[in-house]
Structure 1
Amino acid sequence: MAGVGPLTQDWEPVVIRKKAPTAAAKKDEKAVNAARRVGADIETIKKSTAGTNKAASSSTSLNTRKLDDETENLAHERVPSELKKAIMQARMDKKLTQSQLAQLMNEKPQVIQEYESGKAIPNQQILSKLERVLGVKLRGKK
């Protein structure tokens, strides 16, 4: 690099300070304190999302209204009993334990246990892995 002098470092300290409150904020604060000293009634309003990480939008009220209006009991879809039995039967035919099957699929043994007990929420990727490893067709007609 021609033309560049010797490298030097700037060792001057850098001080970073918090921004001072604006004049308007000071004026409001002074006015409130003066009113308090006089004994006037002061009403302060706290914004509901002030100081939080929530977006101020009306979508939450729409969702809450929909939930309140909803009358039926909603639940996640679970593994049907025919599928549970088919997975268990195919695993037994291959003489595999739940943990061996899970290892062949690169999944946790808990996943296989949840599917066989009917507690899992059906996932197409896991079902396709089960079909491939066990060599049976689990999906199709419901």
Structure 2
Amino acid sequence: MSGIGPLSQDWEPVVIRKKAPNAAAKRDEKAVNAARRSGAEIETVKKATAGTNKAASSSTSLNTRKLDEETENLAHDRVPSDLKKNIMQARMDKKLTQSQLAQLINEKPQIIQEYESGKAIPNQQIISKLERALGVKLRGKK
């Protein structure tokens, strides 16, 4: 057993840090701070896909190609006028505000406002929530 030395583990902590800023980054930071102190105007640029996990070019090129190939004039479905009137009437009958109704169905008040103004794209789940909260049938035969 003399060939095997004492087994030992290294319990020293390993600290991993981000790389220190290089000289160019320090210069840029110094220049920006100096400009701020002097009151000069600083122009900042927000990158469109900064911090996202998407490749900007791949998905857009497919969508634009589909749009270019499309010959029909397409538009999203909007809330029909009879539905928006029914929602408004049922809400008024229950003496609820748009925000109170939104709270009842766990949606934002903006969604109720969009449905009542006819700007929303109809969502069957939201319509069924509205039906339950208002106690009225909004779709189909009455």
What percent of counterpart residues are identical?
76
Q: For 1:54 and 1:126, locate their aligned partners in 2 and report how far apart those are by CA, in whole Å.
A: 31
RMSD: 3.5
The residue number in structure 1 matching 2:35 is none
Describe the shift of the 1:74–1:11 C-alpha distance in structure 2 as closer, same or farther (beyond 3 A). same
Paired residue for 2:78? Answer: 78
Matching residue of 1:89: 89
- In structure 1, the gaps of 5 or more residues are 14-51
Q: CA deviation at 1:139?
A: 1.3
Give the aligned residue type for 1:114.
Answer: E
**Structural mapping, 1:36-75, within 5 Å:** 53=55, 60=62, 66-75=66-75
Q: CA deviation at 1:8?
A: 3.1
Give the alignment's TM-score, normalised by structure 2.
0.56
**1:70 Cα shift?**
2.2
User: Does 2:122 align with 1:109?
Assistant: no
Q: TM-score w.r.t. structure 1 length? A: 0.56
> Residues of 2 paired with 1:54 and 1:113: CA distance?
33
Q: Distance in 2 between matches of 1:106 and 1:64?
A: 35
Structure number, greater radius of gyration: 1
Deviations 1:107-140 (A, max 9, x none): 1100100000000000111001000000000112
In 1, Cα distance between the equivalents of 2:86 and 2:104? 18
How far apart are residue 85 of structure 1 and its match? 0.2
